[in-house]
Structure 1
Amino acid sequence: MFSIIIPLYNKSKYIKRALDSVMEQTFQNYEVIVVNDGSTDGGEKIVFEYGERVKLISQENRGVSEARNRGIQESRHPWIAFLDADDFWRTDYLENMQRGIEKFPTSGIFGCSYAQKMAEFGKLHPEAWFQMDDYFKRAIINTLFFTSATVIRKSFFLHNPGFDKSLARGEDLDVWFRAVLFFERPVYNFSKLVFYSHEDAGQATNRVFPLRRSLSYKILRNKLYSGYGDNFPADFEVFRNRYVYFNLFPYLIDAQNNDDAKELLKNLKREDGLLRIPYCPPFGLLRNFMKFSGGRDLIRNYLKFCLRYIYKE
C-alpha cells in the first residue's frame, strides 16, 4: 500500500532510528526505499544491514528534491509516504494513515501533526481525521503539512512535476500546495504521530538564497500555479498574495534580490494594504533595519499580527 521514501545525506547518526521506527510499524504493507544522495559518513552501510527489507539506491549528491523524486520513480505502491532520515514515526503512524484513507477514499493528500519535544510525541487528538474545504484559509497561519508526516497518492506525481530541485527552500511546501490544488479537500489529523528532529546542526534554515530560488517567487510567477482550471479555489488567490507578503522580507537582506522583489510587489494585489507597509521604505533602509538585533523579528511579528487578527476570516 505505501512506498516509504527516505533521502539520506550524511545522517548516519540518525538513520537507524528512522528505519527502526518503520520496521516497528503495526501496519506492515509497505516497501522502504532509501536514496543515498552521495553521503560521505557511511550512513549507507547502516542501511545495507537491513538487507532485503530496504531497497537502497545510491547516486551522486544532487540534493534532497532529486533524491525524493528518484525514490518516487522507483516506487511500486499507490501511496507515497515521506520520512526524513533524522525524524521518526510512532509505531501506529502508517496504521493511522491507512484508517484516514479508508475514511476518505477520494482524497489524495493526508497529513498529521508532529512533536518537537519527546514529552509531546505520540499525543492523540480527539478530533481524529477531518477533511478541509478551507485549507488555504488555514494555511496562511499554519501550512499544516510536514514532510515526514505527509502521505500523497502516487497519481499526483504521474500527472504533475515532483519536488523542484531549483528551489533552495520550500520544495516540500511547493508539492503540498500543488497537491491540494490537484486533489482538493486534503485530510488531516492533529495527533502528534511524528517526531521532528532538530538535532542536525547542519540544517540551513537561516541562510539567505536568491529570491528566484524561493517558493515566494514561484508561487506568484510560475504557470504551474495557474493551470488547475475549474479546480482552482478562489481562496488560493488570497492565500498566494498573503504568503508572499509574509515571506518576502528576509530576502531583502541581500541587495541582489532588490529587482526581483520589486517585480513581485508589482504583481501583488493591494487589497492587503497593511501587509505592504514594511515594504514601503527604500530597501536599503529596510535592510539596515533588519541588521539590528530584533529587526527581522519585529517585521515578522507585525505581519503575523495582521494575518492572525486583522485579516482573519
Structure 2
Amino acid sequence: MFSILIPLFNKKQFVCRALDAVFGQHFKDFEVIVVDDGSTDGGGNLVEGQYGKMVKLIRQENKGVSQARNKGIQEARYPYIAFLDADDYWHPNYLSFLSRVIEENPEVGIIGCHYDPIQLENEPKLSYFRLENYFKDAVYNTRFFTSATCIKKEFFEIQPGFDPDLRLGEDIDVWLRASLYFGDGIYIQNTLVYYSQEDSSGATGKSYSLDQTLIPKLLGQKYFSDSIGASTCTMETFIKFQSKWVYLNLFPHFVRNHIIIKEVLSRIPRKYFFIHTFYALPSSWMKVFFSKKKLSSLFRNYIKFCFRYIYTS
C-alpha cells in the first residue's frame, strides 16, 4: 500500500532510529526506499549492513534532497508515497491510521498529520478532519510537513515532483500543487510524528537567495492553471492566497535580497495598501529594520493583524 521514502545525507546517527520506527509499524503493507544522496559519513553503508534486503537502497552522487526524493518516487511500487526524513520518526500507529483514513476516504490524495519535536501520543485514538477551504487557511499554516505527509503516487505521474531549483519551500510547493490537483486533503489530529530539531545542518533557518525560494515560483502566472484539478479553489481565492502568503514570507529575505524585493513586490497580484506601503519604503531603511529580530517579529504580527481585522475577505 505504501512506499516509504527516506532521503539520506549525512544523518548516520539518526537513520537507524527512523528505520526502526518504520519496521515497528503495526501496519505491514509497505516497502522502504532509502536514497543515499552522496553521504560522506557512511550512512548508506550502515543501512545496507544493518537492514540488507529489507530496504531498497539507492545510491547517487549528491544532488540535493529534491532529486533524492524524485528518484525514490520513480522507484516506488505502491500507490501511496509516505515521506520520512532520516532524522525524524513515526509512532507505531502512523501507517495504520493512514490506511484507515484512506479506507474511509478513498478519494483523498494528500494526508497530513500532527507532529511535535518533544513527544508523541501514548494511546492515540484516530481523529481527523477534512481541510475544507484549504487555501483560505494555508496563508498562516500550510499544515503539511514532510515526515508527516502521504500523497497518492498518481500526482507525481501527472505533475512535476520536487523542484530541484528550490532550496527553501520545495516541500510546500508540492503540498500546494497536490492540494490544487486533488482538492482538499485530510489532516490527522493525533501527534504521531516526531520532528527532530537535533540536526543543525538542516535547511530551516539558513539564508538563501530569493530565487532559490518558493516565492518567485508561486507568483508565476501559470502556477494555478498548471496545477488545478479536482480542487474547488477558484482563481480569485488562489490570488488572495498567493498575495497574502508572499507578504507574510517575504520580509525574512529582505536583508540579503533587498535589491530584487521591489521586483517581487511588483508581481504580487493583489496589493494590500497598509502592508504594501510599508514594504515600499526606501530599501536602505527596510534593510536595517528587518535586520532586527524584534522588529521583524513585530512586522509579522502587524501583517497578521491586517489580514485578520482589515483585509478579511
Tell me the TM-score normalised to structure 1 length: 0.93
Alignment check: 8 A CA contact 1:123 1:193 kept: no
Pair 1:29 & 2:29 matched: yes
2:99 aligned residue: 98
The correspondence of residues 147-158 of structure 1 with structure 2, limited to 5 A, is 147-158=146-157
Pair 1:138 & 2:148 matched: no
* Matched residue SS, 2:118: coil
2:68 aligned residue: 67
Change in CA separation of 1:133 and 1:124 when aligned onto 2, cut-off 3 Å: farther
Deviation string, structure 1 residues 16-37 (Cα, Å, up to 9, x no partner): 1000000000000000000000
1:237 aligned residue: 239
Alignment check: 8 A CA contact 1:123 1:191 kept: no
Cα separation, 1, equivalents of 2:138 and 2:152: 21
Which amino acid in the other structure matches residue 81 of structure 2?
I
Cα separation, 2, equivalents of 1:251 and 1:139: 20
* Matched residue SS, 1:294: helix
How far off its partner does 1:207 sit? 2.4
Deviation string, structure 1 residues 76-106 (Cα, Å, up to 9, x no partner): 0000000000000000100000011011101
1:254 aligned residue: 256
How far off its partner does 1:117 sit? 1.1
Which amino acid in the other structure matches residue 248 of structure 1?
L
Change in CA separation of 1:46 and 1:305 when aligned onto 2, cut-off 3 Å: farther
Cα separation, 2, equivalents of 1:194 and 1:292: 33
Cα separation, 1, equivalents of 2:187 and 2:226: 25
Worse-superposed segment, 169-178 or 132-141: 132-141
Alignment check: 8 A CA contact 2:89 2:193 kept: yes
Worse-superposed segment, 123-132 or 271-280: 123-132
How far off its partner does 1:312 sit? 4.7
Deviation string, structure 1 residues 207-243 (Cα, Å, up to 9, x no partner): 2222122111110026233324675612222111101
Deviation string, structure 1 residues 156-177 (Cα, Å, up to 9, x no partner): 0000000001011010000000
Cα separation, 2, equivalents of 1:25 and 1:215: 34
- Structure 2: runs of 5 or more not aligned: none
* Matched residue SS, 1:296: helix
Alignment check: 8 A CA contact 1:93 1:193 kept: yes
1:53 aligned residue: 54
Which amino acid in the other structure matches residue 238 of structure 2?
F
Cα separation, 2, equivalents of 1:310 and 1:114: 32
Pair 1:82 & 2:107 matched: no
Cα separation, 1, equivalents of 2:298 and 2:187: 32
* Matched residue SS, 1:152: strand
Alignment check: 8 A CA contact 2:239 2:270 kept: no
Alignment check: 8 A CA contact 1:226 1:232 kept: no
Which amino acid in the other structure matches residue 301 of structure 2?
N
Alignment check: 8 A CA contact 1:168 1:209 kept: yes
Deviation string, structure 1 residues 7-53 (Cα, Å, up to 9, x no partner): 00000110010000000000000000000001011111221110111
Pair 1:7 & 2:23 matched: no
- Structure 1: runs of 5 or more not aligned: none
Which amino acid in the other structure matches residue 211 of structure 1?
L
Worse-superposed segment, 32-41 or 243-252: 243-252
* Matched residue SS, 1:50: helix
Pair 1:166 & 2:168 matched: no
2:285 aligned residue: 285
How far off its partner does 1:205 sit? 2.1
Change in CA separation of 1:138 and 1:293 when aligned onto 2, cut-off 3 Å: closer
Cα separation, 2, equivalents of 1:308 and 1:145: 22
Tell me the TM-score normalised to structure 2 length: 0.93
Change in CA separation of 1:123 and 1:247 when aligned onto 2, cut-off 3 Å: farther
* Matched residue SS, 2:5: strand
Cα separation, 1, equivalents of 2:75 and 2:125: 37
Deviation string, structure 1 residues 230-279 (Cα, Å, up to 9, x no partner): 75612222111101111111222124x523x2222122244522332430
Cα separation, 2, equivalents of 1:253 and 1:271: 22
Alignment check: 8 A CA contact 1:122 1:192 kept: yes
